[in-house]
Amino acid sequence: MACYLKAIETQPNFAVAWSNLGCVFNAQGEIWLAIHHFEKAVTLDPNFLDAYINLGNVLKEARIFDRAVAGYLRALSLSPNHAVVHGNLACVYYEQGLIDLAIDTYRRAIELQPHFPDAYCNLANALKEKGNVRKNTVSEAEECYNTALRLCPTHADSLNNLANIKREQGNIEDAVQLYRKALEVFPEFAAAHSNLASVLQQQGKLQEALMHYKEAIRISPTFADAYSNMGNTLKEMQDVQGALQCYTRAIQINPAFADAHSNLASIHKDSGNIPEAIASYRTALKLKPDFPDAYCNLAHCLQIVCDWTDYDERMKKLVSIVADQLDKNRLPSVHPHHSMLYPLSHGFRKAIAERHGNLCLDKVQALIKINALHKPAFEYPKDLKASAGRLRVGYVSSDFGNHPTSHLMQSIPGMHSSDKFEVFCYALSPDDNTNFRVKVVAEANHFTDLSQLPCNGKAADRIHQDGLHILVNMNGYTKGARNELFALRPAPIQCMWLGYPGTSGAPFMDYIVSDKETSPFEVAEQYSEKLAYMPHTFFIGDHANMFPHLKKKAVIDFKSNGHIFDNRIVLNGIDLKAFLDSLPDVKVVKMRCASGDSGVAETNGALSMPVIPMNTAAEAIINMINQGQIQVTINGFTVSNGLATTQILPAVEVVVSGSVVLQINNKAATGEEVPRTIVVTTRSQYGLPEDSIVYCNFNQLYKIDPPTLQMWANILKRVPNSVLWLLRFPAVGEPNIIQYAQNFGLPGSRIIFSPVAPKEEHVRRGQLADVCLDTPLCNGHTTGMDVLWAGTPMVTMPGETLASRVAASQLQCLGCPELIAHTRQEYEDVAVKLGCDMEYLKMIRSRVWKQRICSPLFNTKQYTLDLEKLYLQMWERHASGSKPDHLVKLQPVESSESA
């Protein structure tokens, strides 16, 4: 540099020295000084070709594209056949988005210099950008990359970019090999590390993917894409904080990075931070208005919090997005599990599921190819000889633990006939150390934790080793699913059951267990699977086992004014009868049950309900509630405040003078154990009026849509002195619900919100409501079972989807078809009659209370017998060589003991 400066000092008009000094400054990263010196050089010598080229190059790197173009064009006026300048000029056109002009200019560079690998590579990039790459075709772009590699086999950019094409064409293994070769040639190639990591993530090789993302970031610390994609990998590895940090860093590097904002929003959404998710999705859409994933996820977040601003327009746009994506054979931005919430056609919902099913097939295709090299395809058992005449059934779920699915079916594995069935359970999640997990592990014949085997190929091999006849998918497209296991076909028969309310859309699922009410045969085309009908309902609940203390109840005659209510102050307990026997003056009130016309066996007559008069014991109980005490002792029995289970404490006993004075058991709160005390539940605990009709719905708020809230508002306006009891599920939805209710003419004061409660309290407090109003958009499924076990009638209106017909199936099985409406007006009228006709309400409530025990709805033993019949029918068809077909002809029902 000193020499150049001395030369300029000696001869100020020495253009070559100015240009060379510009090269020095450029090498030092002093871009503006470099530009200044190159411009001085061409000013001194207007025909200085190299200076114009260098000026164009430095302006291109500085992204001052207009001036860079001017520099290159001036260079070409001096040397029209300079291939490198044509190539560089084309690069600027490409950056400016002038793709056609870039393509023409690259072609001119190649024409002038046929052995120009950089130009072939960049021409391919431009052709790819224009959209000339199509799956399963040898595109011109691909040919250009191959030409570049013939000219220079170690051309790292061409290796990387050709790998990108192979990946888009579905040739994953070819892509991996090309990325690896690019890294052999150029180990410090950050983009190739990131791209390879992305493919490895797709293959489920998360640790190796993480390693390559870290390498990309080491090489290029400001590589925002690598940070964002590494966040996706960490998210898949359940490292939420790590993912959050990666997305945040990507945004710090590039605040205009729309994908990173969307990814950050998804982390917030999955973590329940919905307001933060909404804000991030909106930022992503401001930066990138045509962003279907961000738009559809934002729509789902707004549904979660009941923000119905521009609801109709939002739904129209969402449907149009799905239509466009399906038309272009893209993966829809609406998740299959969310499709039930939107006004999509049956065909669209099925197509969305099919795309996700095909995605699972794509993911395992490479595994299938690799396995074919060293092992034969799976062979299946042809008979029951190897299993000693027993049918081997395997249940696959990520929810063997404290999850609603286990709350429904945890007793089923242990209830299978041991001489006809051999039961296998495969967990996709680690042990959560709950009694739900312990029960399934203990009662299944075999239990395998596949969460420790993340490779789907190896996990499918493990399942296949057990020689199953039927493999049951309990996840569908819910969180924790590994449908790739089913795509690998480790069993000859594979069916959907219970955990997912819709079709899989997957060719590798043969049957879906349902019933004629939930899945009428006339809509069988909505399902990719064959329908397999249970005789009553496909739904089941383990409530009789989990909550036997709710089979009986007593009430306190408090402010009754001659009217005995069964849901103001309620006592439940395993020892309830003995406790009542210890009290004086307990009377039994007969409450007449409404007769039904469902054809389901039921016990007619009257319901006997013990009533405790206002005596010393009753006053002690009421004082305990009013003073917020945890429990009292009456006649040697511990009587607990029902709100005490909300205290998240370990199971403890506090002993004073040899007597237990306090018992708090968190396992009783979660439903893992049965409470050992008499538990008191009152309306006052939840701010519910004693003298009002209480309508309730305990679903998550996303299941409420404007038409549903409009119906509820109409009902309450027709029923004087009535209130609506909802959950803060989530809490941020509460002000929106209140505002829209007011818009519908219902004062916000008539809606009462409670926090989400532990499972036992959640089910038990359902006794306090008079009527449950179901959500027609997506019914209460587990929640429906919860409220019915509490003895509270549920009004429903079946819709078009499986998810919207479950409650009707439950009510038919219960023997209460009069609670099923078929129009909005009928729904309102049924609910209003229950709210206005007190005698009718009492009869219906009495009937629901008795039918919980007498009907098949909660009879897990009967349910298991019926399920076994279905499994045997599936196997008999397979063993006879027949393909799966609808199993809708109901078999004679063998009776079993009631719940």
Q: Give the sign of the dihedral formed by CA 279, CA 280, CA 284, CA 289.
A: negative
> HSE-up of 197 (CA within 13 Å, CB side)?
26
Question: Could you tell me how many residues make up the chain?
Answer: 899
* CA dist 174 → 140, 163, 169, 849 (Å): 18, 7, 10, 63
Q: Which residues contact 134 (CB under 8 A, 6 or more apart)?
A: none
Helix 346-374 vs helix 172-185: crossing angle, to nearest 10 = 60
Residue 706: cis peptide before it, omega within 30 degrees of 0: no
Q: Tell the burial category of 113 from Cβ atoms under 10 Å away from its Cβ (0-12, 13-18, 19+).
A: middle
- Taking the C-alpha atoms of residue 687 and residue 696, their distance in angstroms, rounded to an integer, is 13
Q: Please report where in the chains the tokens 């940090």 appear, as a residue.
A: 245
Q: Please report where in the chains the tokens 């084309």 appear, as a residue.
A: 90
| Structure tokens that stand for 130 in this block | 């224009």
| Structure tokens that stand for 111 in this block | 């024409």
Beta bridge partners of 590: 608
- Taking the C-alpha atoms of residue 42 and residue 79, their distance in angstroms, rounded to an integer, is 15
Q: Which residues contact 621 (CB under 8 A, 6 or more apart)?
A: 556, 569, 571, 632, 634, 639, 680
- Taking the C-alpha atoms of residue 299 and residue 338, their distance in angstroms, rounded to an integer, is 10
Closest to 405 measured CA to CA, from 110, 888, 53, 782: 782
| Structure tokens that stand for 477 in this block | 């497209």
CA angle 737, 740, 742 (to 5 degrees): 110
| Structure tokens that stand for 412 in this block | 């089923």
Q: Are 291 and 285 within 8 A, CB to CB? A: yes
Q: Report helix, strand or coil for 472.
A: strand
Pairing of β 554-556 and β 530-533: unpaired
The number of beta carbons lying within 10 Å of the beta carbon of residue 338 is 20
Q: Are 667 and 652 within 8 A, CB to CB? A: no
Q: Is 337 a catalytic residue?
A: yes
- Taking the C-alpha atoms of residue 506 and residue 350, their distance in angstroms, rounded to an integer, is 10
The number of beta carbons lying within 10 Å of the beta carbon of residue 98 is 17
Q: Are 42 and 48 within 8 A, CB to CB? A: yes
Q: Are 683 and 759 within 8 A, CB to CB? A: no
Q: Which residues contact 331 (CB under 8 A, 6 or more apart)?
A: 325, 355, 356, 359
- Taking the C-alpha atoms of residue 112 and residue 85, their distance in angstroms, rounded to an integer, is 11
Q: Helix %, strand %, coil % for the chain, to 5?
A: 55, 10, 35
> HSE-up of 225 (CA within 13 Å, CB side)?
11
With b meaning 16 or more CB within 10 Å and e meaning fewer, what string describes 253-288? bbeebbbbbbbbbbbbbeeebbebbbbbbebbbebb
Give the type of residue at 51.
Answer: A
Annotated active-site residue in 193, 261, 337, 536: 337
Q: What is the DSSP letter of 887?
A: B
Closest to 688 measured CA to CA, from 784, 780, 770: 770
Q: Report helix, strand or coil for 315.
A: helix
The number of beta carbons lying within 10 Å of the beta carbon of residue 623 is 11
**What dihedral do alpha carbons 692, 698, 701, 703 form, nearest 10°?**
-110
Q: Which residues are catalytic?
A: 337
